Structure 1
Amino acid sequence: MNKVSEAPDERVRRRTKEPAEPWRSVRTGLLGRMMFLLLPPVVVGLAGVLLVQLVISRFEISGVVIPKPTDVFAVMRSDIFVEQVGQSTWETWKATLIGFVLGAGSGVVLGALMGESRTVRFVLYPYVVAFQSLPKIALAPMCALWLGFGLTMKFSFAAMLAFFPAVIATQAALSAVPESRLEMATAFHAGRWQRFCRVSLPSAVPGIVSGLEISMAFALIGAIVGEFVAPSAGGLGQLLLTYSEAINVAAEFSVLAVLMLLGVLQNTILFGVLRLGTERFFESSR
C-alpha cells in the first residue's frame, strides 16, 4: 500500500507512535522512570558544581569567601558533621511538619470560607493581608515571652509562614471554578454543601495542592527563623549559627546544602502523597 492510498488515521498513528517508542522504553518500569526523572537534574547539578570548582580554582578565590565544593563535600563526609546534622535535621523537620499541618490546615479552611462566601472574604481578607505584611522576626520577642524558646516557638513561626500561601491558593482556586459547573449543579437541585463537595472542591484541588507546596517550603523557612531566634532549641538553624560564629564557611555551606536537599525531599514527598490521594480530583478537573 503506498502513502497516497494509505488510510489517514493509520498515517497519523504511525507518525505519533514511532518517535515516542525510544522514550517509552526508557520510562518502562520503576527503575527506568526514576532514572528518567532524576538523571537530568543530577547532571545539571554536577555540571554546576564542576563549574564553581573551576572558577574558584582559576581565580584563586579565598575559602573564607566561597569554599570549594570539594571542601564542602569533605565536611559533609566527616563523622562529626553527619552525627550533628542527623539530630539537627530531625529537630528542624519536626517543627516544620507540625507548623505546616497547623498553618496550612487552618489556611485551607479559611481560604475555603473566603472562596465560598463573599461576606467572609470582604471582612477577613484585609486582616489576612495585614498579618502577612508584618515582618515575622519582629514578633520574636513576644513569641519568646508567650511560648518560650522550645519547639512550640519554632513550629509557631513555621505555621505563620505556611498560613498565607494556603489561604490565597485555596481562595483563588475556589473562585476560579467555572460558573457552568455550578449552574449545572444548581439545575440538578444540588444544595450549597453538595455543590461545594462535589463540584467546587474537586475543581479546586490542583490549585490547593500548588499552594500547599509553597506552604511547605515556607514552613521550613519559618522553622529555621525560629531556630535563629531561639538557638537553644536546636536544629539546623542553630547549627548554622554555630558554624557562622566559628567562621567555618565550608561547614556553613554544608548545612545550606542539607537544607536545600531537605526542602526538595519534603516537597517531593508532599506532592507525591497529595497527588496520589487526589488523583481522581485531578482527572475530574480537566
Structure 2
Amino acid sequence: MQDLKAIANRIRRRDLQAVFEAGAGHIGGEMSAIDILTALYFHVLDVDPTAPKKPDRDRFVLSKGHTANALYVTLAEAGFIPKEEVATFLKPYSRLNGHPNCTKVPGVETNTGPLGHGLPVAVGMAKAAQMSGASWRTFVLTGDGEMQEGSNWEAAMAAAHFKLDNLTLIIDHNRLQQGARLADTNNLAPIAPRFAAFGWAVDEIDGNDMDAIVAALAPEARFAGRPKCVVAHTNKGQGISFMRDRVEWHHKVPNREQYEQAMKELEAAAR
C-alpha cells in the first residue's frame, strides 16, 4: 500500500505540473481520481505496456474523459508512453489531447469526451468477453455529475440483464461538477441504492483510501451473475488544501504562487 500511495503522489505532482505548464486542464477531478487510477494500473488491471493490445488484457475506460491528463500521467508512470511526452500535453501536434484518443495513445481503449458514453461502451466490451468465454475484465470510471446522463441508466439495465459479472463501474463521487454542486443541479445521491435497485452488486468506499480501493476491486469482491458498482466517495482537488472540495477548481489553472504552494503540499505528503 505504501508503494501505491507513493506512486499516486508522484502522479499528482506530475499532473499538477502538466496542467500549470499547459495553462489548461481539469485538475480538480483529476486529483479526486488519481488514487483510483493508481490502484487500477499498478495493482488490479492485467495489462502489459509492451503489448497494449494483447487480446486477453483487461480493459479500462475513462468515461470522464476531460480528466485525460491524469490518465496520461498514469500511463507514462506505468510505461505505456514516455514520461517526457507528458510535457507535450495540449501542445500543437501532441497526441495528448484534452480527451483520450485510442488511435493515438497506447493504453487508451476508446475515445471519450461527451459524457455518458464510457459505460455503454464498457458494457459492450464486457458482453463481448462473456460471449467469447474470455476471462478478461472491464473497468470503467465515471464522474457523479456524468451519471445524470440517461445513456448510463440504459447501460446499467443492460449490464444487469446480461449478468455481466466481468464488469466493474467506479463512480468518482466528489459531489461537484462543472459550475455547481451535484446537490444543486440534479442530485443523484444516494447513488448506491439506485444501482442496487437495478440489480447490481454495490460497494461504497472512501475513494481516496488506497486500502479500500484495492479491496473493492479485488477479484474476490466480485459477485457471480451481477455487475459491480463501486461508489467511491472522493474529494475534488484531493491532496491540495485550497483546491479541496472547491467547485471552481473543476477546470481552473493555478497561478505561479498557487502552483508552488500546491507542489510544496504534495512534496510534504510524500515524505
Normalised by the length of structure 2, the TM-score is: 0.21
More helix per residue: 1
Normalised by the length of structure 1, the TM-score is: 0.20
More strand per residue: 2
Q: Which has the larger radius of gyration?
A: 1
